[in-house]
């Protein structure tokens, strides 16, 4: 695509240089620049992209996107916001796939990935070709890519949506993080449905306050307001219910707790491996056997059912889609090797998610709840004591360990976390591998061991390096050391 055509959507752009050069791709990481690409010099939170223009040129960049004039022999496109302009360029470069697909966006503090999986499962059963983007996988229906973040950057997301369109998808279901909304990653996407799961403390290292965090979530509503689209709102979250009054928008409500809503779950029966409930959709209802255990997964099921209802999916198809869903990697994922106690991996890394995890386990456990958790480094330090309070108040025993300490000293993280502990039913074991072995070693018959925080991650980030590490692998090793050999899928 010619540069002059590519920048046409940018109303504030100033082109310095020739616009008739061919642009073969877009990139903001100078290390990934290939010949013929445009380099976007984004000013980030730690690095300034303009410092890497030289490297980008050496790697073959043929044009630069910048927020100020620079001296170089290439055409330079000057804009007020490189990040926003890049989102517009990416959409134009891939011919606006987010306007051609019907896109369902899922946002909220917890439950996004699972809800996205469930919606796709329902649409798959309905025979509707559907792509998916969430924090575990980017699935174009032709290829699957391991997710690097919750919502990919604007270039990647337009690329994946383009691949879905080429593959013949009618729908795309995407997880929409608050970062993605603020940083323009989901610009130029016309959402058919915007689903809100829940709202609790997270990402305050980025948003600075709960009000700003909520304002970020509101941005998704702004992307569907005034169109023939639906907001799907958890009726049990007052912050989200109040948002509807601010926008001219159709809304469908759901409640996992049987409260007054358009879609609700009634009379749930829970077990360690399966849940049974009555799904009520307006005046219709059906019974559902659900393979995702835990009370908090009822909310994910209700949200997925509500999103499917919003686009006209029949209740029988919703029922079958939910019943075909398998447990999701790193989300209340059991590890079964013949041991007389339960071991569960879960991604819970916020105070609310950790509390819900422990409470869900308590409902289906006759023995004790043993919980292992940590707090990520270089992230919201204010939630650390809240994590400790949630774990210790809802568990019989807790081990505090390292999560992804990143560039912080683990001992500093522990020091900021421990004030939230209630009682003395805890230990601190800095090494996560040793901590997993220690807590499994304490388990007795009918106990449940919760390994929280990292889910399906296959690394531990220490300093600026990601070292190979996987909770499931370490759990299996610990169980084998205790003599358990009967490995089953989980």
DSSP 23: P
Give the total number of structural domains in the chain. Answer: 3
Give the CA distances from residue 440 to residues 182, 226, 339, 474, 480, in Å, rounded to whole numbers and listed in that order.
Answer: 41, 53, 10, 11, 11
CA distance 174 to 490: 25
**CATH code (residue 429):** 3.90.190.20
Residue 203: pLDDT above 80? Answer: no
Q: Is residue 84 part of a domain?
A: yes
* Single residue among 52, 72, 93 that ends a domain in this structure: 93
79 and 152 housed in the same domain? no
**CATH code (residue 287):** 3.40.1190.10
* Single residue among 324, 350, 381 that ends a domain in this structure: 324
Q: How many CA atoms lie within 13 A of 98 on its CB side?
A: 27
9 and 104 housed in the same domain? no
DSSP 347: -
CB 118 within 8 A of CB 317: no
129 and 278 housed in the same domain? yes
pLDDT in the model for residue 247: 78
Q: Is residue 490 part of a domain?
A: no
The confidence band for 244, taking pLDDT boundaries of 50, 70 and 90, is confident
pLDDT in tens, 369-421: 999 999 999 998 999 999 999 999 999 999 999 999 999 999 999 999 999 99
Phi-psi region of 475 (alpha: psi -120 to 50; beta: other; left: phi over 0): alpha
CB 27 within 8 A of CB 40: yes
Q: Is residue 489 part of a domain?
A: no
The confidence band for 347, taking pLDDT boundaries of 50, 70 and 90, is very high
346 and 452 housed in the same domain? yes
The confidence band for 206, taking pLDDT boundaries of 50, 70 and 90, is low
Average pLDDT over residues 207-231: 75
Percent residues over pLDDT 70 in the chain? 96
Query: CA end-to-end span of the chain, whole Å?
Result: 47
Q: Is the pTM of this model over 0.85?
A: yes
103 and 150 housed in the same domain? yes
pLDDT in tens, 246-292: 777 889 999 998 788 999 999 999 998 899 999 999 999 999 999 99
CB 110 within 8 A of CB 44: no
Average pLDDT over residues 79-86: 96
Average pLDDT over residues 32-46: 90
Three-state DSSP class for residue 317: helix
Three-state DSSP class for residue 119: helix
**CATH code (residue 30):** 3.40.1390.10
pLDDT in the model for residue 465: 96
288 and 392 housed in the same domain? no
CA distance 29 to 228: 37
Q: Is residue 130 part of a domain?
A: yes
Q: What is the CA radius of gyration of the chain?
A: 24
Q: Is residue 340 part of a domain?
A: yes
Q: Is residue 263 part of a domain?
A: yes
The confidence band for 489, taking pLDDT boundaries of 50, 70 and 90, is very low
The confidence band for 151, taking pLDDT boundaries of 50, 70 and 90, is confident
Instruction: Count CB neighbours of 207 within 10 A.
Output: 19
Q: Which domain holds residue 355?
A: 333-481
Lowest mean pLDDT among 110-114, 342-346, 366-370: 110-114
Residue 223: pLDDT above 90? Answer: no
Residues sharing a CB contact under 8 Å with residue 473, sequence separation 6 or more, in sequence order = none
CB 244 within 8 A of CB 237: no
255 and 295 housed in the same domain? yes
221 and 320 housed in the same domain? yes
Residue 208: pLDDT above 90? Answer: no
Task: Kindly tell me the burial class for residue 488, based on how many C-beta atoms sit within 10 Å of its own C-beta (0-12, 13-18, 19 or more).
Answer: exposed
pLDDT in the model for residue 209: 74
CA distance 398 to 391: 7
Q: Is residue 488 part of a domain?
A: no
Residue 441: pLDDT above 60? Answer: yes
* Single residue among 266, 301, 324 that ends a domain in this structure: 324
Residue 115: pLDDT above 70? Answer: yes
Q: Is residue 487 part of a domain?
A: no
Q: What is the DSSP string of 189-249?
A: --EEEEEE----S--HHHH-SHHHHHHHHHHHHHTTTTSS-EEEEETT-HHHHHHHTTS--
pLDDT in the model for residue 487: 57
pLDDT in tens, 167-193: 999 999 999 988 888 899 999 999 999
Three-state DSSP class for residue 478: helix
279 and 143 housed in the same domain? yes
211 and 197 housed in the same domain? yes
pLDDT in the model for residue 296: 87
Give the CA distances from residue 475 to residues 359, 371, 442, in Å, rounded to whole numbers and listed in that order.
Answer: 22, 13, 13
244 and 309 housed in the same domain? yes
Average pLDDT over residues 447-456: 97
Q: What is the DSSP string of 406-458?
A: BTS-HHHHHHHHGGG--TT-EEE-SSHHHHHHHHHHT--TT-EEEEES-TT--
272 and 127 housed in the same domain? yes
């Amino acid at each position: 695509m010619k540069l002059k055509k590519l920048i046409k959507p940018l109303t504030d752009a100033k082109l310095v240089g020739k616009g008739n050069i061919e642009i073969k791709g877009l990139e903001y990481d100078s290390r990934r620049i290939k010949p013929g690409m445009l380099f976007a010099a984004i000013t980030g939170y730690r690095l300034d992209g303009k410092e890497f223009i030289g490297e980008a040129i050496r790697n073959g960049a043929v044009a630069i996107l910048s927020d100020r004039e620079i001296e170089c022999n290439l055409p330079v496109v000057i804009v007020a916001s490189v990040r926003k302009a890049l989102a517009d360029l990416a959409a134009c470069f891939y011919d606006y796939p987010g306007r051609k697909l019907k896109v369902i966006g899922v946002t909220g503090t917890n439950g996004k990935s699972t809800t996205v999986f469930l919606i796709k499962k329902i649409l798959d059963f309905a025979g509707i070709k559907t792509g998916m983007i969430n924090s575990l996988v980017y699935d174009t229906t032709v290829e699957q890519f391991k997710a690097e973040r919750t919502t990919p950057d604007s270039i990647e997301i337009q690329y994946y949506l383009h691949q879905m369109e080429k593959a013949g998808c009618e729908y795309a279901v995407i997880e929409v993080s608050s970062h993605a909304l603020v940083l323009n990653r989901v610009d130029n996407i016309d959402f058919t449905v915007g689903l809100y799961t829940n709202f609790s403390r997270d990402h305050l290292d980025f948003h600075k306050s709960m009000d700003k965090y909520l304002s970020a979530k509101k941005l998704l509503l702004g992307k569907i307001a005034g169109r023939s689209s639906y907001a799907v709102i958890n009726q049990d979250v007052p912050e989200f219910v109040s948002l509807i009054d601010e926008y001219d928008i159709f809304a469908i409500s759901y409640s996992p707790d049987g409260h007054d809503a358009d879609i609700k779950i009634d009379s749930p029966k829970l077990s360690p491996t399966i849940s049974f409930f009555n799904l009520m959709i307006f005046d219709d209802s059906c019974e559902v056997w659900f393979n995702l255990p835990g009370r908090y997964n009822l909310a994910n099921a209700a949200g997925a059912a509500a999103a499917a209802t919003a686009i006209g999916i029949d209740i029988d198809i919703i029922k079958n889609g939910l019943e075909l869903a398998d447990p999701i990697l790193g989300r209340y994922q059991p590890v079964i090797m013949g041991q007389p106690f339960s071991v569960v991996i879960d991604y819970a890394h916020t105070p609310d998610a950790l509390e819900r995890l422990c409470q869900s386990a308590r409902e289906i456990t006759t023995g004790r709840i043993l919980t292992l958790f940590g707090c990520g480094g270089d992230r919201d330090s204010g939630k650390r004591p809240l994590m400790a309070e949630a774990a210790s108040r809802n568990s019989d025993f807790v081990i505090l360990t390292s999560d992804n300490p990143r560039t912080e000293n683990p001992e500093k993280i522990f020091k900021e976390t421990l004030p939230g502990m209630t009682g003395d039913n805890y230990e601190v074991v800095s090494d996560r591998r040793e901590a997993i072995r220690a807590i499994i070693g304490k388990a007795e018959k009918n106990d449940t061991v919760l390994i929280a925080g990292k889910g399906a991650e296959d690394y531990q980030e220490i300093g600026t390096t990601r070292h190979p590490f996987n909770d499931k692998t370490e759990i299996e090793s610990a169980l084998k050391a205790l003599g358990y050999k009967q490995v089953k899928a989980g």
